[in-house]
């Protein structure tokens, strides 16, 4: 549809028409509204609007129990065949949303596809790659766990090339068995579907990037002022994470830190495209002073550095980049790889402690940046 053309029936159903354009993923419609009454109105309008085009919505599910009852009663008063309302029974306590398991009653998300343990005696490269790829984690909830297996694949290829059906050496099999037997524990790692527990404002985006010799990683959080009665408090919400294996060709740590910053920038771009929550400020965090110097330098850089700095500064500004001590950089969790138990105990999904202040906007410590400016 041309950008200047109005959707058909948009005058009669303005909100629902726009929602159809933005909220459908394949044949599933996903939406979140701040009031049950708005959700009920939206559901009714969607059924009526799509019926005009010959499209029939077949089922609804919600994390609000009384909304399901109201939907069910509303559709039963219609002469046409009503959509099925699911989620009210124990058998329908969960469903899959974009590959993640959604618990309707607890209103939580968990990685569930590809997390069953399968005991295999003949472990080959093909099997390892197959099982790693089955763990479907589109937002990086368990990225520090899956990157461990990708590091194993890198070590296998470094040792013996890509011989897909040859049985692996015993030490590689032991590493793979330890990783695959840990997969069922990922079911214990849940995240709330809703970012915040109540009404919120002054929302900030905080994106962290870090690298080791083997992995570069980025993770993003929302920070907001949440109202609870007459008072407010600060809440942090995980939004997106990623961990990528470093290339076979050896790179220096500063260049890998630059790769991590580029990954963090790309996450920021993806978040801005998808997020409908207004953001008051964006913070990009790194523990690399070399990277901060590159971003602030006017000198001619090597091509590798120059190209990546250019892409970073196309989507961020220099004054959005801040220094964070390595101990507070949560992207470091993604660079080390972890077991499921280790990830559950980490702050990967909880957010860094230093952001839990009452200051809005957040006030970074600019001492390191001040020293960089003096040394230019």
Which of 44, 91, 40 has its CA nearest to residue 62? Answer: 40
Say yes or no to pLDDT of 350 above 70. Answer: yes
Do 186 and 105 lie in a common domain? Answer: yes
* 262-292 per-position pLDDT tens digit: 999 999 999 999 998 999 999 999 999 999 9
Q: Which of these three, 162, 178, 193, is where a domain ends?
A: 193
Do 36 and 71 lie in a common domain? Answer: yes
* 68-104 per-position pLDDT tens digit: 677 766 665 555 555 666 655 555 678 888 788 888 8
Say yes or no to pLDDT of 122 above 90. Answer: no
Q: Which residue has the higher pLDDT, 332 or 15?
A: 332
Say yes or no to pLDDT of 188 above 80. Answer: yes
Looking at the 3D structure of the chain, how many domains does it have?
3
Compute the average pLDDT of residues 1-21.
73
Interior angle at CA 278, CA 272 and CA 283, nearest 5:
60
pLDDT at 92 (0 to 100): 64
Count H helices, E strands: the chain? 12, 13
For residue 317, being part of any structural domain is answered with yes
Do 278 and 334 lie in a common domain? Answer: yes
Do 304 and 206 lie in a common domain? Answer: yes
Do 180 and 114 lie in a common domain? Answer: yes
For residue 244, being part of any structural domain is answered with yes
* 232-269 per-position pLDDT tens digit: 999 999 999 999 999 988 889 999 999 999 999 999 99
pLDDT at 370 (0 to 100): 67
Instruction: State how far the Cα of 180 lies from the Cα of 339, in Å rounded to an integer.
Output: 10
pTM tops 0.85: yes
For residue 4, being part of any structural domain is answered with no
pLDDT at 78 (0 to 100): 54
Say yes or no to pLDDT of 113 above 90. Answer: no
For residue 132, being part of any structural domain is answered with yes
pLDDT at 376 (0 to 100): 47
Instruction: State how far the Cα of 309 lies from the Cα of 304, in Å rounded to an integer.
Output: 9
Q: Which residue has the higher pLDDT, 292 or 48?
A: 292
The CATH number of whichever domain residue 328 belongs to comes to: 3.30.420
pLDDT at 53 (0 to 100): 83
pLDDT at 88 (0 to 100): 53
Contacts of 335 (CB under 8 A, 6+ apart): 210, 211, 212, 214, 215, 216, 217, 243, 260
Say yes or no to pLDDT of 189 above 80. Answer: yes
* 140-165 per-position pLDDT tens digit: 999 999 999 999 999 998 888 888 88
For residue 36, being part of any structural domain is answered with yes
pLDDT at 84 (0 to 100): 63
Q: Which residue has the higher pLDDT, 105 or 143?
A: 143
Q: How many beta carbons lie within 10 A of that of residue 138, not counting itself?
A: 10
Phi, psi (5° rounding) for residue 187?
-65, -15
Which of 265, 320, 309, 284 has its CA nearest to residue 208? Answer: 284
Do 258 and 185 lie in a common domain? Answer: no
Residue 158: helix, strand or coil by DSSP? helix
pLDDT at 303 (0 to 100): 95
pLDDT at 160 (0 to 100): 82
pLDDT at 89 (0 to 100): 54
Do 53 and 176 lie in a common domain? Answer: no
pLDDT at 307 (0 to 100): 96
Q: Is beta strand 281-286 parallel, antiparallel or unpaired with respect to 231-245? A: unpaired
* Cα 14 to Cα 18, 25, 54, 289, distances in angstroms: 6, 20, 19, 50
**Strand pairing partners for 211?**
216
For residue 6, being part of any structural domain is answered with no
Going by pLDDT thresholds of 50, 70 and 90, the confidence category of residue 115 is confident
Instruction: State how far the Cα of 137 lies from the Cα of 15, in Å rounded to an integer.
Output: 31
Q: Which of these three, 193, 227, 249, is where a domain ends?
A: 193
Contacts 24+ apart (CB under 8 A), 180-185: 180/117, 180/118, 180/120, 180/131, 180/149, 181/117, 182/145, 182/339, 182/340, 182/341, 183/114, 183/115, 183/116, 183/117, 183/135, 183/340, 184/115, 184/116, 184/117, 185/339, 185/340, 185/341, 185/344
For residue 5, being part of any structural domain is answered with no
Going by pLDDT thresholds of 50, 70 and 90, the confidence category of residue 55 is confident
Do 83 and 226 lie in a common domain? Answer: no
For residue 202, being part of any structural domain is answered with yes
User: Domain range for residue 169?
Assistant: 96-193
Strands (E) located in the chain: 24-25, 28-29, 59-60, 84-85, 94-97, 100-103, 108-111, 190-192, 200-211, 215-228, 231-245, 281-286, 321-323
Q: Which of these three, 41, 67, 92, is where a domain ends?
A: 92
Do 363 and 331 lie in a common domain? Answer: yes
């Amino acid at each position: 549809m041309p950008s200047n053309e109005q959707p058909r029936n948009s005058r009669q159903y303005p909100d629902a028409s726009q929602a159809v354009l933005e909220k459908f993923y394949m044949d599933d419609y996903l939406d979140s509204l701040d009031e049950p009454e708005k959700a009920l109105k939206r559901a009714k309008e969607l059924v009526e609007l799509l019926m005009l085009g010959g499209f029939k919505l077949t089922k609804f599910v919600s994390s609000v129990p009384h909304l399901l009852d109201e939907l069910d009663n509303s559709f039963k008063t219609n002469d046409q065949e009503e959509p099925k309302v699911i989620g009210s029974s124990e058998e329908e306590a969960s469903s899959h949303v974009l590959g993640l398991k959604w618990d309707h009653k607890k209103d939580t998300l968990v990685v569930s596809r590809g997390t069953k343990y399968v005991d295999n005696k003949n472990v080959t490269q093909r099997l390892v790659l197959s099982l790693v790829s089955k763990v479907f984690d589109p937002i990086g909830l368990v990225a520090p766990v899956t990157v461990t297996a990708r590091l194993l694949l890198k070590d296998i290829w470094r040792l013996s090339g890509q011989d897909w059906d040859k049985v692996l050496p015993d030490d590689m099999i032991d590493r793979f068995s330890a990783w695959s037997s840990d997969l069922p524990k990922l079911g214990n790692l849940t995240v709330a579907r809703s970012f915040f527990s109540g009404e919120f404002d002054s929302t900030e985006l905080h994106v962290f990037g870090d690298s080791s010799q083997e992995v570069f990683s980025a993770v993003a959080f929302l920070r907001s002022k949440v109202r609870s009665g007459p008072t407010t408090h600060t809440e942090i919400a995980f939004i997106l994470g990623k961990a990528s294996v470093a290339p076979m060709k050896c790179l220096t740590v500063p260049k890998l830190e630059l790769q991590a910053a580029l990954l963090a920038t790309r996450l920021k771009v993806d978040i801005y495209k998808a997020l409908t929550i207004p953001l008051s400020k964006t913070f990009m965090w790194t523990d690399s002073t070399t990277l901060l110097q590159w971003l602030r330098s006017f000198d001619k850089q090597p091509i590798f550095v120059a190209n990546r700095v250019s892409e970073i500064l196309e989507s961020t500004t220099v004054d959005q980049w801040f220094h964070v001590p390595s101990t507070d950089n949560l992207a470091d969790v993604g660079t080390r790889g972890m077991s499921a138990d280790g990830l559950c105990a980490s702050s990967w999904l909880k957010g860094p402690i230093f952001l839990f202040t009452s200051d809005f906007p957040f006030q970074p410590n600019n001492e390191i940046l001040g020293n960089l400016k003096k040394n230019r």
